[in-house]
Amino acid sequence: MANDIPDPQPVCNPITSSAIFIVATLTAGAEPAERVRAWCADIAALVRSVGQRVPSGNLSCVCGFGSSAWDTLYGSPRPASLHGFREFGTEGRRAVATPGDILLHIRAEHMDLCFELATRLLASLGDAVSVVDEVQGFRYFDMRSLIGFVDGTENPVGHRAVDFTIIGDEDPSFSGGSYVLVQKYLHNMSAWNALSVEAQERIIGRTKLSDIELDETVKPSCSHSTLTTITQDGQEVKILRDNMPFGRPGAGEFGTYFIGYARSPVPIELMLENMFVGKPPGNYDRLLDFSTAVTGGLFFVPSADLLEAIADRRP
Q: Read out DSSP for 119-183?
A: HHHHHHHGGGEEEEEEEEEE--TTTB-TTSSBS-TT---THHHHHHHS--TTSGGGTT-EEEEEE
Q: Give yes or no for a cis peptide into 280 (omega within 30° of 0).
A: yes
Active-site residues: which are they? 151
Taking the C-alpha atoms of residue 230 and residue 260, their distance in angstroms, rounded to an integer, is 14
Task: Please give the Cα distance from 184 to 289 (Å, whole number).
Answer: 15
Name the amino acid, one letter, at 244.
M
* Chain centre to alpha carbon of residue 310: 22
Return the sign of the alpha-carbon dihedral for residues 200, 206, 211, 216.
positive
Q: Which of 245, 273, 258, 232 is nearest to 90 (CA)?
A: 273
In this structure, are residues 188 and 287 in contact, taking their beta carbons and an 8 Å threshold? Answer: no
CA 292 – CA 288 distance, rounded (Å): 6
Nearest of 86, 92, 107 to residue 269 by alpha carbon: 86
